[in-house]
Every structure is written in C-alpha cells, then in structure tokens.
A and B are shown apart, each in its own frame.
Chain A
C-alpha cells in the first residue's frame, strides 16, 4: 500500500436546489482496500458513490483518483467500474454482449475481448450462460453478470451500490463471501454502499458510517464496534445495538451524560446484588443464545444475552450488573468522551 491514498475526497458537498445531499465528505481510500459506505437510507451513501463515479458533479470540494484530479471529469475518464443496485443490465443483449459492452465501446480487439469475457465468466461462475438474455436469468445470476461486467475491463477501482439488496438472505451470505474473495484475488479497490451493518462489518477493511449527509465515523469494523464516536454510531453498529443509559441512573457519572453498554457485557445477577433493576419485556430465541429485552425508566435498548434456549417470562424483574471498563461514556451532545 502506498502512502498517498488511491482515492481522495476532500470536502465534497452536493446539494439539490439548496436541499442537502452530502456535505463535508473527507475520505482517503488506500489502494487494494475494501471500503464500505454504511448508513440508514437517505443518508447520502449513493450520492457519495455517484460523485465518485462522475454521475453527479460536486458543488464543493475535490475528488482525486490515482493522484489525478477528476472532480469534473466525465465518468468514462475515471477508469472505474460500477455495479448498480438494479444491476442495470441491457435487457436486449445476451450475457456475453452485456459483459463485453464496454470492451467493444473501447475498441478492444475481438480476440482479446473473448479471452477477457471467458475469464470474467469463469471467475463469476457464469460459463454456459453466454447466450441467455438477462430476463432468462435468476436474480443471483443477474447479479453475477453485473459483477462480471464490472471486472471484465480490469479497472482498479470498482464501485458497488447495494449490490446484494435484491437477493434473498441465504444467497446474500454466499455472494458476500464471493465478492470479498474476488476483491482480494484481483487486488482491486472496492467502494461498497450498504445500509446493512452486518454486510459492512463482515466485508470491509474500513467502514464509513454516514448520517444526514455527514460522515459520523471512519474506521475499521472493530473500531466502530468497540469505540463508537457518538451515540448514533453506538446505536447503529452491532446486533443487538448498544444500549444507552442516562448517566443519572448510575452513581459517579454526573447527570448530563449518556452511557453505552453492549448486551454481551451485561450479566444477570441475583436480586439485590445488581447495579440496575429492570423488567423483562421480551425473549427472543436466536439459536445459540436467547436475547432478553429489558425495560428500565432511564435506558433505551437494554438487553442481555443468555446461552442456549432460556426464555424468561415477560414482566419478570431482574437485576443486572456490568463492569465500568465496558462502559462507553458520551457527553450531553452525544460525542464520545476519552476512553
């Protein structure tokens, strides 16, 4: 990895008639990395990706790819490929024609074109489907055609906008692994948009969490999970998300702070020995463990994990405890305090 980033966004902003799309996007993406843009729907992930692709032009800021300022360059001059959420396959062209479309446009000689096609179809497991039209393929196969079209030209940067959101859960897990492996094997740089935090956490080297057009935190999945920058990140990342308590509930934290605690750091203790007394509001059996949801006047999203199947009756009162070192402390504005 080089010291200068492969892709650089510097203070990028995009608005539509004064309405905010994204603002102050600052991002360095090293070559060969897998970066996920994560956030709730409408937070500006697609906008950021489209700015990078050249499908939108920014109102402010600069975009550099491979050291070249491409802020106002056309999409075709940026040497990147893209997988669309809807796949954007050409419905009247066969799989082979779809995949080779870009090569043909760029006047790659026929022999080389066919070689590249063969290799791309081989990698994506589409051999034998060359002559099918997209309408004759399953959702998973279409997704792979889109993938094949993105990798066939051998661009070093590949952008993906929620490429798995149209697949069923089982297929999604399988393709997730395929994409990750593909990115490693080809050594390409991937910028991947998703609203699914599991997807981002499991695939990405770097996760960029966004909200309302602004970046909330950039870091490794482990960073976001164990050192969330603010209460939004804390509540967005992890399943179940972090529970937030008013600091007045606990001793020694003042009144105006917010305390975060994850389910796996909470223990159920015998009555009278706990730091908080809560009411059970639901039990959810997850397979290897059971998630017990808890109610408490000064807390939101409080829950605790118990191994195996161990449902608890609704309305039961239990005491819970936790260690101070597992607590995340946020100030009144929701920003993380040192620690």
Chain B
C-alpha cells in the first residue's frame, strides 16, 4: 500500500475517534464506570461501625436468592412485563393502523393518543389516583350507578398490581403508536395499490406487507418497553408505594428501598447487577435473533 493511502487511512481513523470521543467520555463517566463500580461494591459486605466492609464474593447474591420478598418482586415484575409489553404494543399497533387509515381525523387522533406521553409521570399518576380512589374516584362513581360495591383498587393485594399495569399500558400505548404512525408513513401508498390489484384483502396486505415492514419499529419498541418495565418507579411512589404487602412492588422500587430505606447498598448493587445482566441478555437475544428476520429499508 502506498504511503499516501496509509496516511489517508490514519487520518480517517483519527477523525472517527474524534467524533466518537465526546459520547465515549460521557458514557464512560456516567454509564460504564458506575456499572463497574456497582459490580465491585456488590461483592463486598455491608459495613457497620464495628464490622468494616470486607470482600464476600457472591454472598450478597446468595442472600438475595434466599429473600422471599425478592422473589415476590421478581414475580411481580415478570407479570408486569409479560402483560404490559405485548398489550401496549398490540394496542399501539391497532391504534396506529386505524388512525393511519382515517385521514380526516388523523391529526386529532394522534394528539389525543399522545397526550398521556406528554403528561409528567407524577401528574399522570395523580390523574389515575383520581380514577381509582375508593368512594370518590371516577371508577367507583360509575360503579355505584350500576349498584356495584366500592372497590379499593389500589389498596388490596389482588388488584393493586393490575391497576398499575393498566396505568402503564395507558401511558405507553400512545407513545408507541407515534412510532408506528411514523413508520406507516414511510410505506409508499402504491404498495397498497399493487396489492389491491393482485387481489389481496386488507388483512392479507396488513399481514404480508405492513407488519413485516414495521418489524424494525416493533423491535425497537419491544426493547424500549422491556427497559421501561424495569424502570417504573414514579407511579409506584404516588399510587401504591409498592403495597399492600409488596403486592405491587417492582424491582426498581425494591432496589430504591434497599439502598435508601434499609441502607443496604451492597444488596441494592447486587440486584442492580442482576437487572443489568438480564436486560443485556434479553436485548442481545432480541437483536441477534430478530434482527436476522427483520427487513431494514
């Protein structure tokens, strides 16, 4: 290779690194370093005045596995993710397909469904508090019209988590719909016309053309929804505080409790590491497996 080409290549490489460095510095400072530090501190015991911290290896993890609350939280979170992710994606997709067809009302529908996303989380939670409050809440008011007894939606273990799930779906579906709507706009109108001429029904067209072309969006949304499902905490503060009797406690809330209510930083760190691990594995599977079967334009 000529010296000239070599020089050019090196210039390109330096240019590339220069472009990368701001993001790399920030990520290192605020994401990579904290992750490693968390991993490190999860391997040490909790220090008290009499007993200083010492290296305990996986003991913190073992303790967590033996903690019944941890398993309740994991179960809650799995149920929460297992319901909110598919349901909000399904609702988002249906709403987007519907809103995309109705050209006249499109602007209005889009705004209406997007509103929950624009609302600050705390405001949204307060709004739902107003729906759920026993006796005074909108749900009970409607129920009483039909002679139904008052239900404390947020106050009883059987319904608390479901009440949270519904709030999440309400909030996420509108957000995801915007992504689907944007993706639908990029599908050229003549694909529908070509399918029409070939005799494809609306359903065939949706299933064979639209859904595959929306796959990249679905993948993106699924990863986001999954991350959101372990990120939820602010609704819990307002609506249930994780109760009653841990019935609506999710993983991040428990980590928060561990760290700032029980001051057990090592356990919180251990739990954080597990969340990062699980999220990493699931994201890798989603991208590696689904990516192969996804068409990018």
Interface residues of A (CB under 8 A from B): 53-55, 74-76, 80-82, 84, 86, 88, 90-92, 101-102, 105-106, 133, 135, 149, 153
Contacts and interface: CB of A to CB of B under 8 A. Distances in A.
Given A86-B188, A91-B295, A81 B197 contact: yes
B196 A55 contact: yes
Nearest to B189: A88
B209 A82 contact: no
Contact of B199 (A82, A86, A105): A105
A162 to B, nearest CB: 12
A228 B138 CA distance: 77
B190 interface: yes
Interface in B199-218: 199-201, 204, 208-209, 212-213, 215
A203 B265 CA distance: 81
30 contacts: A54-B196, A54-B197, A55-B197, A75-B193, A75-B197, A76-B197, A76-B198, A76-B200, A80-B197, A84-B190, A84-B193, A88-B193, A88-B194, A90-B194, A90-B209, A91-B213, A92-B212, A92-B215, A92-B295, A101-B195, A101-B198, A101-B200, A101-B208, A102-B198, A105-B195, A105-B198, A105-B199, A105-B200, A106-B199, A133-B295
Ranked 7 nearest A-B pairs via Cβ: A102-B198, A92-B295, A76-B199, A88-B194, A88-B190, A75-B196, A105-B200
Contacts of A102: 197-200
A161 to B, nearest CB: 9
B297 interface: yes
A321 B161 CA distance: 96
B191 interface: yes
B109 to A, nearest CB: 23
Contacts of A75: 193, 196-197
B83 to A, nearest CB: 30
A88 B188 contact: yes
A13 B198 CA distance: 25
A88 B191 contact: yes
Contacts of B209: 90, 92
A82 B199 CA distance: 12
A105 B194 contact: no
A76 B200 CA distance: 8
Q: Determine the interface band of chain B, counting residues with CB < 8 A from chain A.
A: 20 to 34
Nearest to B198: A102
A250 B297 CA distance: 63
A76 B196 contact: yes
A84 B197 CA distance: 11
Given A76-B198, A102-B199, A92 B213 contact: yes
B197 A53 contact: yes
A46 B295 CA distance: 31
A91 B297 CA distance: 7
A211 to B, nearest CB: 25
A82 B213 contact: no
B197 A82 contact: yes
A87 to B, nearest CB: 9
A165 to B, nearest CB: 14
Contacts of A133: 295
Nearest to A101: B198
A74 B208 CA distance: 20
B197 to A, nearest CB: 5
Contacts of B198: 76, 101-102, 105-106, 153
Indicate the member of B199, B213, B297 with the most A CB atoms within 10 Å.
B199
Nearest to A91: B297
B132 to A, nearest CB: 44
B104 to A, nearest CB: 13
Contacts of B197: 53-55, 75-76, 80-82, 102
A76 B212 CA distance: 23
A88 B191 CA distance: 5
Contacts of A101: 195, 198, 200, 208
A244 B101 CA distance: 51
Contacts of B204: 105
Contacts of A135: 297
Contacts of B213: 91-92
A75 B209 CA distance: 18
Nearest to B204: A105
A324 B249 CA distance: 99
A105 B208 CA distance: 10
A319 B193 CA distance: 57
Contacts of B212: 92
A84 B194 contact: yes
Contacts of B195: 101, 105
A60 B209 CA distance: 33
A80 B198 CA distance: 9
Contacts of A74: 196
A55 B193 contact: yes
Contacts of B215: 92
Contacts of A80: 197
Interface in B50-65: none
A153 to B, nearest CB: 8
A205 B190 CA distance: 28
Given A76-B197, A88-B194, 20 more contacts: A53-B193, A53-B197, A54-B197, A75-B196, A76-B199, A80-B197, A86-B188, A86-B190, A88-B190, A90-B194, A90-B209, A91-B297, A92-B212, A92-B215, A101-B200, A105-B198, A106-B198, A133-B295, A135-B297, A149-B194
A154 to B, nearest CB: 13
A280 to B, nearest CB: 48
